[in-house]
Chains A and B, each alone.
Chain A
């Protein structure tokens, strides 16, 4: 009867443990990266900003802009009220988009990687026509928030 493990047995067991730990490590690294990436997504104050902005833009011609395009980049040229630049500035908005709900594929090369990451993180459980996506520039980092827009709202 052997009185201890053989080298081969020890190596086999440790290799198995190492593979398990590597899998665990990879999972945690992915979780960590996702958490870091999602820190700037859908902050409560930014969601309320988007809500009020949507309500106000609905009083102007937001509904007219809902066409068949996948992603529409909005600017103050799309709206007919003079306080638009001040409003955008006050809300710390860097860009504003209308993104079709349930969008699965689009020309991602036209947009920034941070915007593409945000779009890919969104779920499509609710039945809106578009979502109004705000890109906020806060402390030199891009933050995103969005709210659903129904046609004929």
Chain B
């Protein structure tokens, strides 16, 4: 046995084994990176998206949505929700403001589409369905709908109910 340290063969075997270990670590790190960062959709805004949807939908239920207006401006779109307490949602390229609270997009190259899609469906003589979607674009393209802000409401019609039948920009 060589008592003066490693021989060349010992060093080569050790380096080979350590390389295998390091490759495994690298693969794990790359996988973890992919979990946290997916550039194909607004992955860094998932939690805020859930927060926005929850806040607006909770208000729909608490204050009873009874109508809405969509107002398009040059650099923003405002949606007025007619409820027991009036609320508004302002969409700008990178920010969405609801109830004086601003939510700025953090994902790379992500912007809000200023042209929301809106659908009104009469379910029967009394009930109706509202679908309102604010698309989130990546590099000006709606690559997927899973990051879009989609709001739904089924309500009971009354004498004050007033929705536009359709909307296009």
Q: Check if A18 sits within 8 Å of B20, measured CB to CB.
A: yes
In the docked arrangement, what's the CA distance between A66 and B121, Å?
28
Interface hits, A1-45 → B, CB 8 Å = 2-7, 10-11, 14-15, 17-18, 21-22, 24-25, 28-29, 32, 35, 39-40, 43-45
A124 vs B24: C-alpha distance when bound (angstroms): 37
Tell me if B102 is interfacial: C-beta within 8 Å of chain A: no
What's the A-B contact tally at a CB cutoff of 8 Å?
99
Report yes or no: B5 in contact with A4, Cβ–Cβ below 8 A. Answer: yes
Contact A3 B121, CB 8 Å, known A25-B24, A25-B28, A91-B152: no
Q: Does A48 sit within 8 A of B, measured CB to CB?
A: yes
Chain B residues lying within 8 Å of A55, measured Cβ to Cβ, are: 154
Our pick among A18, A29, A44 for the contact of B31 (Cβ within 8 Å) is: A29
| B57 is an interface residue with CB less than 8 A from chain A | yes
- Which residue of chain A lies nearest to B22 when distances are taken between CB atoms in the complex? A21
Q: Which of A80-88, A98-106, A108-116 contacts the other chain?
A: A80-88
| Besides A14-B21, A39-B146, 11 new A-B residue pairs in contact (Cβ under 8 A), listed by A number | A11-B13, A14-B17, A18-B17, A45-B53, A45-B150, A55-B154, A83-B123, A90-B119, A90-B121, A90-B129, A143-B146
